[in-house]
Every structure is written in C-alpha cells, then in structure tokens.
Amino acid sequence: MFFERSSSLELNAAPDHERRRLVLALRKVSHWYGDGESRKQVLFDMDLDVASGEIVMLMGPSGCGKTTLLTLAGALRSVQQGSVSFCGREMAGASTPVQLETRRQIGFIFQAHNLHNSLTAIQNVRASLEVHGPSELKNWRARCEETLARVGLADKFDSYPEKLSGGQKLRVAVARALVAQPRLVLADEATAALDRRSGRDVTELLRKLAREQGSAVLMVTHDNRILDIADRIVEMEDGRILSSLP
C-alpha cells in the first residue's frame, strides 16, 4: 500500500503549505557549462521549494535552464554553487554514495519513457525496485501488479512496450517511478507526445497517486492543457525564475 513519507525539515513558506514537509529546497543555485572562455552561466541564484504532496510545474522557453535545474534536483549533476537540500540532506559537496542513495529515493519520468523493449510492463516496473536491493524485491510481483492496476493497466502486466500505445507506455513509466514510494518525482516533458485527453489523464493520475503516498512532484512542461492540475506554476527565463504562482 502507498503511504506518506516525511522528512525532518518543515516548510515555512506559504500558509497553505504549513502542514506539509519540505522535500526539495534550492537556495541561490547557479550553474555553468564549459571551461575558460567558453564557460557559460545557465542558472542564476535559483530559489525553489517543493513540498510533499505538491505538484509544481516548471515552464519556460527551450534553453532557459529547466532541464539543468531538474538534473540538479535529482542528484544527477553536482552542485557548483548554492544549496540543494533533499529531505534535509545537503547535496552540495555530497559524495558519490550519498548522491546514489538520494537518487534511489527519486522517481524519474521522461518524455521518451525509457522503457526496456525486451521487458514486459511488470518487468519494467520491477526494475525500479532492483536498485534498492533484495529487501525491496520481497513480494515484488504483488507490489508491481498493484501499482500497474492503479494506473489502469491491470490487463497489460505481460505486454511488451511495442504492444502499448503512447499513453500506456507513459502509464508504465509512472508506475515504475512510483512503485518504490519515492519522496520526489521528477518529470521532464512527460506528456509532450500525447494527445490532450491522454496527457491530462496521466497527469491527473500522477497527482492522485503522488498525494496518496506523500510524494512531491516537479514537472517540466510546455503543455498549457494541464496547468490547472498544478498546485504551483514556476516560470523560468534565461536561467532565472520570473514568477511562482498558485
């Protein structure tokens, strides 16, 4: 069963978030690519909070730094300047083992889904549990079946990706991201290739399941059709946050 996870760091920002726990906190985060004369700054003094059960959508033109921010939030890239705190644990200067452990507590959903074509739907979801070690594989089939059923794929356990529609593949990706009950879910343009109905259905489903288990969700999107599902919309441009609106 899904359950709410908590962290030790209280959220003290907006009043409507007071009863939630702060999962992700960025403070004065800046980032550069390249070296020497070719060095280019892509993020400038970024501040961002995401709380448990909260859906935050990150918008902005291509090349404004959204994906870079997402990779920093997911401990996929080292922090160069500023603070990135995950459930109270500082990622700036964190060792490789700490970064790996942090990634195990994060669910990732990408536009391309990144499903293994040689694995069935249930095997793809099981792969998310394997990185946590043998203890997480106890009763793995029941856990994976329950999660797939909750995303509407109870009849697709043994289907390979080539037999699934785009929307169904994304549902498998959502199940894979959520089966280990992560404290944070990061999604990068996950609905871009879907039609209006499918994109909205999957996003509403992600919100429902994330809130049931207390996960925070940070989603990069250009899809104006799903913005009303967000608790907060953060607008970026040229590596800076322009606004953060409920």
pLDDT tens, residue by residue, 179-228: 988 999 999 988 877 788 878 888 888 888 888 888 999 999 988 888 99
Residue with more model confidence, 93 or 1: 93
Angle of the 140-150 helix axis to the 121-130 helix axis, nearest 10: 120
Q: Label the pairing between strands 81-86 and 22-33.
A: antiparallel
pLDDT at 118 over 90: yes
Identify the band that residue 6 occupies on the pLDDT scale cut at 50, 70 and 90: very low
**Which has the higher per-residue pLDDT, 13 or 232?**
232
For helices 166-178 and 121-130, the axis angle rounded to 10 degrees is 30
Domains of the chain: 8-103+223-246 (3.40.50.300)
- The whole-angstrom separation of Cα 11 and Cα 18 is 6
- Given a cut of 50, whether residue 17 has pLDDT beyond it is no
Inform me whether the pLDDT recorded for 72 exceeds 60.
yes
Average pLDDT, the chain: 87
- The pLDDT value given to residue 162: 95
Range picked from 3-7, 159-163, 225-229 for highest mean pLDDT = 159-163
pLDDT, residue 172, reads 93
Q: How far apart are CA 205 and CA 219, in angstroms?
A: 14
The pLDDT, as a whole number, for residue 223 is: 85
Work out the average pLDDT over 150-159. 93
Q: Residue 20 has what pLDDT?
A: 66
What is the dihedral sign for C-alpha 129, 135, 140, 142? negative
Residue 19 scores a pLDDT above 80: no
- pLDDT for 189 equals 86
